[in-house]
């Protein structure tokens, strides 16, 4: 065993520190792989301790490097602050924060209860805010520091079936717009990623309850792999971009959504009318 291998395995490499929420699966886990390949030391955050442990084992076997884990519910602001404090006690620095934790419960607005709206906003927006607020305070003054928040393609235009999900992602985008300006003087580069449908366990669960109209609308966008999405997010963030668009379609949407929104709304109305008529004919 070489000295470098021993240091990385024991977490003593002196590498930059990346903290990733939602790090036990999906895009968060794929981002961890990207940053480990760039010699970052990685700290994974997620709610489920067992899934975190499994992710840690898999990554350590793949990269021969120590991976730290910290179970935390991002809905809990005090728990997030405590997690960041623990990371600082252990590593003394945070160089890159990626907020990938999120949930989605699709459904037509009249079918979703208030609890579903509250849960999605609590995790997708406030869960992001909790970590960013705690981490930004300790990242100030370290040139090259980065905060990357994972939003969604649903943060650009309204999409039928996402009345509980999209508002939180719109809010993440707005937060990024503000923090991009406010944190820049402190040496922190802020970016927001807008992944399309991505082949993750969450998408598989989501597909079980997507309304028909939502499924038809989503068909045109295709599905990307988590690896491909993460690679493009990390590469674009390293290049200093603010809007991180993993696909050409998302890149186009990012720059033209204000013009495209009325057209997209018209397309969705057509689909919704078709679905409604189909249901009426069957009843």
Kindly list the structural domains of the chain, giving each domain's residue range(s) and its CATH number in brackets, ordered by start. 3-257 (3.40.50.720)
C-alpha of 208 from chain center: 21
CA nearest to 196, candidates 160, 147, 150? 150
Q: Look at residue 110 in the predicted model and tell me its pLDDT.
A: 97
Residues of the chain with pLDDT under 70: 1-14, 257-261, 278-283
What element of type H or E holds 248?
Answer: helix 248-282
The tokens for 199 are 């082949």
Q: So what's the pLDDT on residue 270?
A: 85
E-state strands within 133-176: 145-150
How many CA atoms, within 13 angstroms, populate the side-chain half-sphere of residue 191? Answer: 27
Q: What is the pLDDT of residue 53?
A: 98
**Chain centre distance of CA 77:** 18
C-alpha span between 255 and 145 (Å, rounded): 26
pLDDT at 265: 73
The string of DSSP codes covering 48-109 is -HHHHHHHHHHHHHHHSS-EEEEE--TT-HHHHHHHHHHHHHHHS---EEEE-------B-G
Indicate if the alpha-carbon torsion angle 177, 171, 160, 29 is positive or negative.
positive
Beta bridge partners of 17: 41
Whole-model pTM? 0.86
């Amino acid at each position: 065993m070489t000295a470098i291998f021993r240091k990385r395995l024991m977490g003593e490499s002196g590498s930059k520190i990346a903290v990733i929420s939602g790090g036990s699966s999906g895009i968060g886990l794929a981002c961890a792989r990207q940053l480990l390949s760039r010699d970052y030391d990685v700290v994974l955050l997620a709610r489920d301790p067992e899934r975190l442990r499994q992710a840690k084992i898999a990554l350590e076997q793949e990269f021969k490097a120590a991976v730290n884990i910290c179970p935390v519910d991002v809905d809990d602001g005090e728990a997030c602050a405590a997690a960041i404090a623990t990371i600082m006690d252990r590593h003394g620095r945070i160089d890159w924060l990626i907020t990938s934790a999120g949930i989605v419960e699709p459904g037509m607005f009249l079918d979703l209860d208030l609890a579903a709206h509250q849960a999605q906003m609590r995790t997708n927006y406030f869960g992001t805010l909790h970590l960013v607020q705690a981490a930004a305070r300790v990242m100030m003054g370290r040139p090259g520091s980065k905060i990357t928040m994972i939003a969604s393609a649903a943060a650009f235009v309204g999409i039928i079936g996402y009345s509980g999900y999209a508002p939180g992602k719109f809010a993440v985008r707005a937060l990024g717009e503000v923090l991009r300006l406010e944190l820049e003087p402190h040496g922190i580069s802020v970016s927001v990623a807008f992944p399309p449908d991505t082949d993750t366990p969450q998408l598989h669960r989501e597909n079980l309850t997507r309304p028909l109209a939502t499924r038809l609308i989503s068909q045109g966008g295709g599905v990307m792999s988590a690896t491909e999405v993460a690679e493009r997010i990390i590469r674009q963030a390293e290049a200093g971009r603010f809007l991180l668009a993993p696909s050409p379609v998302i890149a186009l949407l990012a720059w033209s959504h204000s013009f495209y929104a009325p057209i997209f709304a018209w397309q969705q109305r057509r689909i919704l009318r078709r679905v409604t008529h189909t249901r009426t004919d069957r009843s």
